[in-house]
Amino acid sequence: MPPRAAKPVGVVLVDKPAGPSSFALVAELRRRTGARTGHTGTLDPFATGLLVQLSGGATRLAPCFVGLDKRYVTDVDLTSTTSTGDPEGETLEEHVPPTQDELERSLAGLRGEVELPIPAASAVKIGGERAYRLARRGVTVEMPSRHSSVYALDVIAYTGERVRLDLHVGSGTYVRSIADALGGHCLTLRRTAVGPFAVEEADPERWLTVASALARLPAEAVARVPARVRERVLALEAEDQSVR
């Protein structure tokens, strides 16, 4: 099969382990199929959970998936902040953790429509270069803020020094920024859902058809891609299925 082929066409849900990058998992699927491959939203190497991959002609439908809301579970160390907002960064400050009442007040201020600074270790471009590459070189830059939608932010468990949070957020929200706003950093981060797709469905050997995946998306998400493009991808998939 030639490289970057338009087939096989489909959607693959993967439960990413801690360690490899999202790109590494995309590259693995590309090696298996020979088709152009992409994902609909990166996860940091330390993070785990749902990664939605698109294969072949389905990559043209990425705009239908990238704007979906996300669900996460994270463990936050409330005793220190780090340069990256996660365990991989250098400790910036150590302090006494907030009381439960103080934590609840902070959480209340982070629900709804909020402005949060983008983490220095993110993939956002600053002056044409990825922020995380600048951070790795020790270059300090003033990171911009981003408007974020936090639909739900609930405490699952609280020990005094650590808190486990369940989050439902809009696309583009950085959980590490929420942890930093609480005076802490993420110890773990797991993405449990992307829009209507749940991590419990993840199986790298099971492919969702484009038609079934689109049928689960809200109409406004599907409409991000012109109908003629969607029809072409569905036709490619029909040809692909007839061969298999």
- For residue range 168-178, what is the model confidence (pLDDT) as tens digits? 999 989 999 99
pLDDT band at 5 (very low <50, low <70, confident <90, very high): confident
Predicted local confidence at residue 117, as pLDDT:
82
Position 118 pLDDT exceeds 80 = no
Joined together, the tokens standing for residue 124 give 């956002």
**CA–CA–CA angle 130, 150, 216 (5° rounding):** 90
The distance in angstroms from the start CA to the end CA of the chain is 14
Kindly report the backbone phi and psi dihedral angles of residue 155, in degrees, each rounded to the nearest multiple of 5, phi listed first: -85, 125
pLDDT in tens, 200-239: 999 999 999 999 999 999 999 999 999 999 999 999 999 8
- Summary mean pLDDT of the chain: 89
Predicted local confidence at residue 90, as pLDDT:
85
One-letter amino acid at 210 equals V
Predicted local confidence at residue 2, as pLDDT:
41
Q: pTM for this one?
A: 0.89
Task: Find residue 50's DSSP bridge partners.
Answer: 15
Total Cβ atoms within 10 A of residue 241: 14
Joined together, the tokens standing for residue 28 give 């693995």
pLDDT in tens, 11-66: 999 999 999 999 999 999 999 999 999 999 889 899 999 999 999 999 999 999 99
Q: Is 86 exposed, middle or buried (0-12, 13-18, 19+ CB in 10 A)?
A: buried
C-beta separation of 124 from 118 below 8 A: yes
In 25-138, the DSSP E strands lie at 37-39, 48-55, 70-77, 80-82, 91-94, 112-117, 125-126, 129-130
pLDDT band at 121 (very low <50, low <70, confident <90, very high): low
Predicted local confidence at residue 132, as pLDDT:
60
pLDDT in tens, 56-106: 999 999 999 999 999 999 999 999 999 888 998 889 899 999 999 999 999
- Indicate which residues carry an active-site annotation: 44
pLDDT band at 3 (very low <50, low <70, confident <90, very high): very low
Predicted local confidence at residue 244, as pLDDT:
47
Percent of the chain having pLDDT more than 70? Answer: 86
Predicted local confidence at residue 83, as pLDDT:
83
Predicted local confidence at residue 122, as pLDDT:
58
| Maximum alpha-carbon separation in the chain | 63
